[in-house]
Amino acid sequence: MSRIGNKVIVLPAGVSVSVAEDNLVSVKGPKGTLTQAVDSDISVEVEGNELKVKRPTEQKRHKALHGLYRSLINNMVIGVGSGYKKELEIIGVGYKASAANNVLELQLGYSHNIFMAIPEEIKLTTTSEKGQNPKVILEGIDKELIGSVAAKIKSLRKVEPYKGKGIRFVGEVVRRKAGKSASKK
């Protein structure tokens, strides 16, 4: 029994869902529109302000797809309703970030600056206040796209365990290691 798949998705005010003949689900809201192709075996039903995802049999494949598509559609509903936001902080001496025309420029201690083009669907802002670590803020309606872009930015300078330098999510806890002097006794 898929517990995630059986949950009903409640549509907030201002969000509408339509299902086309070829099982193409499109979600419209105040922030924009998202579409998702759903497997032909899985059925999506809209009743008033509730959305239900149903599977035909108890096969392992159908159970897996049931929970998957319910989660994807729920993420789309939340995205077009309120949107998603990810904040990354850059920790390290001389590490900087700046944004212009959806191009992110990073100085991460390498011999050259890194320029990264961010997709049009994502709103990019950077902040660097005195006494604070520089932050990169990504906002948009597509959870998957924001997550993949944030992961790509994070992979440019992974957090190292000794000094904690690198790019991390705001609030992320990094496990620190003791240096050489702690092991000598």
Reduce the secondary structure of the chain to three states and give it as a string: CCHHHHCCEECCCCCEEEECCCCEEEEEECCEEEEEECCCCCEEEEECCEEEEECCCCCHHHHHHHHHHHHHHHHHHHHHHCCEEEEEEEECCCCEEEEECCEEEEECCCCCCEEEECCCCCEEEEECCCCCCCEEEEEECCHHHHHHHHHHHHHCCCCCCCCCCEEEECCCCCCCCCCHHHHCC
The 10s digit of each residue's pLDDT in 10-31 is 999 899 999 998 889 999 999 9
Segment 171-180 shows an average pLDDT of 88
CATH 3.30.70.260: does it fit domain 84-169? Answer: no
- Residues 100-125: what's their mean pLDDT? 94
Contacts of 171 (CB under 8 A, 6+ apart): none
| 67: nearest Cα among 101, 93, 38 | 38
- Could you tell me the pTM of the whole model? 0.87
Beta partners for 145? none
The pair phi, psi for residue 98, each rounded to 5°, is -145, 155
Q: Annotate 56-68 with b (16+ C-beta within 10 A) or e (fewer).
A: eeeeeebeebbbb
Domain 9-82, architecture per CATH: Alpha-Beta Complex (3.90)
At residue 163, what is the residue type? K
pLDDT digits over 73-87, tens only? 999 999 999 999 999
Residue pLDDT, tens place only, 47-72: 888 999 999 998 999 988 999 999 99
| Range list for CATH 3.90.930.12 in the chain | 9-82, 84-169
